[in-house]
Amino acid sequence: MITISRFTNYFATVAAYGSVLKAAEALHVSASTIDQQILLAEKEIGARMFEQAAGDLRLTAAGEVLVKLVDRWQCDYRQALTQIDEDQAVQRGHIDVAIIDALTDGFVTEVIAKLAHDHPGLTVHVQVLDNEEVVRKIVAGDVDFGLLLTPESTNELEIRASVNTPLGIAFEPGHPLHSNAEMCISDTLDYKPILPAPPLMISKRVTSLYHRHQLGARRFVTCNNAKMMRSLARRGMGVAVLTWLDVASDVGSGELDFRQLQDDHLKPLQLHLCAAAHRQPSQSARLVIRYFEAGMADIGFA
């Protein structure tokens, strides 16, 4: 291993073996070369590093101080080499990520932009899929990790990060519902509800929510694309029943307002960052996951 200086290598080896001769044999250098380096160091420091004891060399009090310092130097140096190796691997790395459609706007693009700035040699391939297909891709090892809503089973997944994304009602700024501090599903009935259709994951939840409250929603539009639903809501064509994740970017830009639905029987919905259980992520994947974890921390619903 390359060391910080020739002296630290010689000094640490003599301290370990308790002998200049044994250190010289281990390092394949002459004993006189090691002696010269140690004598020069002792002259500079102004204290002896070793003393004779029963035929061996033993560290003096000054030597004990120095050997602890050298050990820390060596440890820090090994860590630096590891970090350099990881950085070089990342610069040459490639990552495959699967995400759900709701993430094509907002924090994912911001995370990728930051990665491009910080690690320009890294390449990222993003696949936009439905929720169950994201799970299948992760489990099969076709992607390094994925972002998805609460899966039916997590047996083969390792959840690395999660954030709440409640179901709610999105509407244009200035809408009459803006004054409502709390919202229930019946509040949509008089304002042309725009409801999710299959295969959107929340479609079943929304339908069962209306049925549970024995409400016959006068559906203005049903749609299987969250972007289309958001666009209609932005134009004031109705109120869209979507998740916070679907509309977070629009709310941030002031194009939509959002109220969480209040219902004791409504199960919480979460966005998960998942990798395959029992599969070790690459160095590049671990770094990219950290970026995505930081991005997820900024989008939670308050």
Question: Which pTM value belongs to this model?
Answer: 0.64
1 occurs within a structural domain: no
- Condensed to tens digits (0 to 9), the pLDDT of residues 129-188 reads 988 999 999 999 999 999 998 877 778 899 999 998 899 999 999 999 998 888 888 888
Q: Which range is least confidently modeled, 40-44, 87-91, 104-108, 120-124? A: 87-91
Mean of the per-residue pLDDT values of the chain: 87
Residue indicated by tokens 């994951």: 201
Cα separations in angstroms, 179 against 1, 15, 65, 98, 276: 68, 76, 69, 38, 44
Comparing 101 with 99, the larger pLDDT belongs to 99
| Same-domain status, 60 and 118 | no
* Residue at a domain's end among 90, 120, 155: 90
| Same-domain status, 133 and 172 | no
Handedness of CA 109, 131, 276, 140 (dihedral sign): negative
- Condensed to tens digits (0 to 9), the pLDDT of residues 259-283 reads 999 888 787 788 999 999 988 888 8
Query: For residue 174, what is the domain's CATH number?
Result: 3.40.190.10
Residue 14's domain comprises 6-90
274 close to 158: Cβ distance less than 8 angstroms: yes
134 close to 147: Cβ distance less than 8 angstroms: yes
